[in-house]
Chain A
């Protein structure tokens, strides 16, 4: 072997390999290395320091929370004023003035004077769905029922506060009486406007006649099957959203959402502009006609709230975000766009009241992260990003404490559909 490897020294050395002289590493490399090392140490020290601080802060906050919560829990019954301001004033106003053309006044209201605190409790327990005349003015009358949002003590306190403060009544109503009213109201539809109230309560001022009971919307047998049993390999709506469309956890409440909003979401699931594997699978199996029918089905559904604050959110902070907004972080009040008390404004702004808190917080986080991106003008992306995790939980919990939205009246939806009928062929294409 060695023989073969010997080379004729006259020939060029073919196995020659270039080599590099043993140069020193240039100074700038040292500079950068040392600067990075220093920076690393500084960062380590700083981070551990701020972690320590944050831990301390959190511990202090926890203590505060405990301290702040203790008296609230110990309070025997919420004061009527507090319950009224948190639940009723969003529509009726802090001074019970109502809102001209939309919400009847409570202050000096002839109905409140005639019926007293008991009538208020009866109304709160069932809600109203029909025209009502107060002090000579007739209002459309869509009021939610508070049966699933407030307990007997709270309803008694608020009803007594309204009667005493706004009409000077002497008597309130007791929590026991409210419990009786709750029993009697169980399973009842909302009061069909002032007419039904007047029939049940002697001495009320004249009321407009109740609207004709809406001819039940032609309930498509197809839709009933889709909702309750599913079709083919597609499971039913109710299997996740509940029999009454009330939702659970991260599955949203559908009852009472605007029909156009539900339809748009289903189309978005179909087309992939809203991402959710389960819903994409279901939506792709639906025809346009089925989507419209399902949207109508849920839009007119009145169902008790299935939501309770459950995310440990700060309700006061949530109420602030929902009603006033936090403009220091660029967040307007939820109710500025979603309507007073979060009833929604069709077609683009869905109802928020009584929505499942886990769903709301989850969607806000998805908007912040960009995995949900189908809101008009991308409005919700900016808002989702501006809220931090605690804010998202706070506002979701507050919205879950509200009474469910009074659903779109069947009469209105039927009218809307019959108006749209001639144009259907042209609007159906996407």
Chain B
């Protein structure tokens, strides 16, 4: 094109702004920019910015940061003192982590304390011992009396550790070193927490009610997809080549009995929701946690040790279990639950007689 075309000459634009107007605009522009920068940084600080912008949105954190900050951190194991008290703490920790060996005479199944109280009793929302120690002695409706920590541990042996099946047939006698060492361990772990106050992280935490009534069929699917790789298709856990129980059995003769807190579906659901699958807590939805908790509960397990003197399952149900959310006294697959668990009913052949010892 040629350069001398008429349309090449720019048409007359609007009038040039006066000097005063330019200065005004510069002031508006700069102050507006400042305000925007300040607002932006404030929004970032208060966490109002969307995750895709900050790149922090999809990093999974087990619990919200605010919660983490509130949670008590128990002292490190390396700080256990190197004296007689420290020895007791260490023995207590050994009992906690390998209960069947170190409290052998009082354990009637293949479980350890640390199977449910994760991280050697230190993990929040898996009934950490630092959250329990400061609130005892306390009244418990389960046995209608004020319980000392010793009473409470005795209860754990009686039900969760199924002491009725142990070599002595019962929990450690009052005054046993087992209680002494375990309490030393709990006490050491709770250092600095106020007594009489329930700390955040106690128990298994809260879980919402499920939208739908828990279903055993859905639970079986959740179990097969998420639990069986560790706990086995038959729920009996897994052992290593030496026969050491690595993953705990969830039902059957080597698991907790019908008197244990974990047999209540709401308790199990809360534990599962906040802790399972291990290292991926929160993976299961609330509904899935309830479904699989119900499924686990719907299997045979050792009888409730309070069911004595010819008490039938029905009697025991009316006296002990009618308020509980569980499968005790119900019939599943033609089998009345609550009578106990024989090796056959666990669904797995258990050849070794010494594992429960």
- The answer to whether B123 has its CB under 8 Å from any CB of chain A is yes
Bound Cα distance from A15 to B4, whole angstroms? 12
Are A383 and B7 in touch, CB under 8 angstroms? Answer: no
Are B119 and A102 in touch, CB under 8 angstroms? Answer: no
Are B244 and A339 in touch, CB under 8 angstroms? Answer: yes
Are B14 and A34 in touch, CB under 8 angstroms? Answer: no
CB distance from B97 to the nearest CB of A (A): 9
B356: A residues at CB distance < 8 A? 101
- The answer to whether A39 has its CB under 8 Å from any CB of chain B is yes
Bound Cα distance from A95 to B6, whole angstroms? 102
Bound Cα distance from A383 to B62, whole angstroms? 12
Residue of A nearest to B230 (CB): A337
A330: B residues at CB distance < 8 A? 62, 279, 281
B146: A residues at CB distance < 8 A? none
A35: B residues at CB distance < 8 A? 33-34, 36-37, 40
A325: B residues at CB distance < 8 A? 119
- The answer to whether A142 has its CB under 8 Å from any CB of chain B is yes
- Do A34 and B244 form a contact, CB below 8 Å, given A22-B14, A327-B119? no
- The answer to whether A13 has its CB under 8 Å from any CB of chain B is yes
- The answer to whether B32 has its CB under 8 Å from any CB of chain A is yes
| 7 additional contacts (CB under 8 A) given A27-B25, A101-B357, A376-B229 | A38-B37, A95-B91, A97-B98, A100-B354, A140-B242, A331-B279, A332-B119
Are A340 and B240 in touch, CB under 8 angstroms? Answer: yes
CB distance from A223 to the nearest CB of B (A): 23
Are A5 and B60 in touch, CB under 8 angstroms? Answer: no
**What 1/0 mask marks residues of chain B from 65 to 103 whose CB sits below 8 Å from any chain A CB?**
000000001000100000000000011001000101110
- The answer to whether A428 has its CB under 8 Å from any CB of chain B is no
- The answer to whether A33 has its CB under 8 Å from any CB of chain B is yes
Of residues 1 through 27 on chain A, the ones whose CB sits less than 8 Å from some CB of chain B are: 1, 5, 13, 15-17, 19, 21-24, 27
B29: A residues at CB distance < 8 A? 27, 30-31, 34
A336: B residues at CB distance < 8 A? 246, 278
Of residues 105 through 155 on chain B, the ones whose CB sits less than 8 Å from some CB of chain A are: 118-120, 122-123
Please tell me which one of the listed residues A19, A38, A93 contacts residue B33 in the complex, with CB atoms under 8 A apart: A38
CB distance from A298 to the nearest CB of B (A): 15
B57: A residues at CB distance < 8 A? none
Which residue numbers of B lie inside 8 Å of A, CB to CB? Answer: 2, 5-7, 10-11, 13-14, 17, 25, 28-30, 32-37, 40-41, 60, 62, 73, 77, 90-91, 94, 98, 100-102, 104, 118-120, 122-123, 226, 229-230, 238-247, 277-281, 283, 352, 354-357
B240: A residues at CB distance < 8 A? 102, 339-340, 343-345
Are A406 and B241 in touch, CB under 8 angstroms? Answer: yes
Q: Report the interface size class on chain A.
A: 35 or more
CB distance from B95 to the nearest CB of A (A): 10
Which residue numbers of A lie inside 8 Å of B, CB to CB? Answer: 1, 5, 13, 15-17, 19, 21-24, 27-28, 30-35, 37-39, 42, 91, 93-95, 97-103, 137, 139-142, 324-325, 327-328, 330-332, 336-337, 339-340, 343-346, 348, 376-379, 382-383, 406, 408-409, 412
Are B119 and A324 in touch, CB under 8 angstroms? Answer: yes
Bound Cα distance from A289 to B21, whole angstroms? 87
CB distance from B13 to the nearest CB of A (A): 4
Please tell me which one of the listed residues A39, A93, A346, A406 contacts residue B37 in the complex, with CB atoms under 8 A apart: A39
- Do A19 and B10 form a contact, CB below 8 Å, given A99-B98, A343-B241? yes
22 residue pairs of the A-B complex, CB under 8 angstroms, read A19-B10, A27-B32, A30-B29, A30-B30, A31-B29, A32-B36, A33-B33, A34-B30, A34-B32, A34-B37, A35-B33, A93-B94, A97-B94, A141-B242, A324-B120, A327-B122, A328-B73, A330-B281, A343-B242, A344-B240, A377-B226, A382-B279
Please tell me which one of the listed residues B37, B73, B91, B242 contacts residue A142 in the complex, with CB atoms under 8 A apart: B242
Residue of B nearest to A375 (CB): B229
A344: B residues at CB distance < 8 A? 240
CB distance from B278 to the nearest CB of A (A): 5
Of A95, A137, A139, A383, the most chain B CB neighbours within 10 A belong to A95
Bound Cα distance from A4 to B260, whole angstroms? 105
Are A101 and B355 in touch, CB under 8 angstroms? Answer: yes
Are A21 and B13 in touch, CB under 8 angstroms? Answer: yes
- Do A382 and B280 form a contact, CB below 8 Å, given A34-B34, A101-B357, A140-B242? yes
B17: A residues at CB distance < 8 A? 24
Bound Cα distance from A23 to B15, whole angstroms? 10
B245: A residues at CB distance < 8 A? 102
B6: A residues at CB distance < 8 A? 13
Are B60 and A382 in touch, CB under 8 angstroms? Answer: yes
A19: B residues at CB distance < 8 A? 10-11
Bound Cα distance from A105 to B171, whole angstroms? 23
B32: A residues at CB distance < 8 A? 27-28, 30-31, 34
Are B101 and A97 in touch, CB under 8 angstroms? Answer: yes
A346: B residues at CB distance < 8 A? 241
Are B278 and A337 in touch, CB under 8 angstroms? Answer: yes
- Do A339 and B10 form a contact, CB below 8 Å, given A31-B29, A35-B40, A39-B37? no
Bound Cα distance from A27 to B154, whole angstroms? 75
CB distance from B241 to the nearest CB of A (A): 5
A38: B residues at CB distance < 8 A? 33-34, 37
B239: A residues at CB distance < 8 A? 102, 345
